[in-house]
Amino acid sequence: MKKLAVILLIALGSFWEVSAATRTDVNVLEATENIRYLSQEITKNYLYLYANPHKREISEQIHQELAKLVENIRTISLSTSDEDTRNILEFLIYSKDQIEELVRQKPDKEKAALMLDYSETLLEGANSIAQAHSYDFTESEKMLMKGKKMEYLLVRSAKYYMALGVGLGSEINRRQMKDSISKLEQSITEFEQHNYPPEMKKSQTLLRKSWETTKGLLNRQESLFVSNLVVLAAREMESITQAFVLYHRKAK
Q: How far is the CA of 243 from the CAs of 38, 152, 201, in angstroms?
A: 19, 15, 11
Lowest mean pLDDT among 46-50, 79-83, 117-121, 149-153: 79-83
If you write DSSP's letter for every residue of 73-128 in order, what string do you get? HHHHHHH---HHHHHHHHHHHHHHHHHHHHHTS---HHHHHHHHHHHHHHHHHHHH
For 201-235, b/e burial (b = at least 16 CB within 10 A) is eebbeebeebbeebbebbeebeeebebeebbebbe
pLDDT above 70 as % of the chain: 90
221 φ/ψ sector (left φ>0, alpha ψ -120 to 50, else beta): alpha
Lowest mean pLDDT among 64-73, 84-93, 111-120, 158-167: 84-93
pLDDT for 15 equals 37
- CB-side neighbour CA atoms (13 Å) of 140: 10
Does residue 136 surpass a pLDDT of 90?
no
pLDDT for 27 equals 81
Contact criterion met (CB below 8 Å) for 236 and 175: no
pLDDT tier at 132 (50, 70, 90 boundaries)? Answer: confident
- Nearest one of 193, 187, 203 to 242, comparing CA atoms: 203
pLDDT digits (tens, 9 = 90+) for 55-64: 989 999 999 9
Contact criterion met (CB below 8 Å) for 185 and 218: no
- Provide CB contacts within 8 A for 148, sequence distance 6+: 30, 33, 34, 36, 37, 245
1-136: CATH topology is Four Helix Bundle (Hemerythrin (Met), subunit A) (1.20.120)
pTM of the model: 0.88
Does residue 99 surpass a pLDDT of 50?
yes
Question: For the chain, which residues make up each domain, given as ranges?
Answer: 1-136, 137-252
Does residue 5 surpass a pLDDT of 90?
no
Note the CATH number of domain 137-252.
Answer: 1.20.120.1730
pLDDT for 152 equals 96
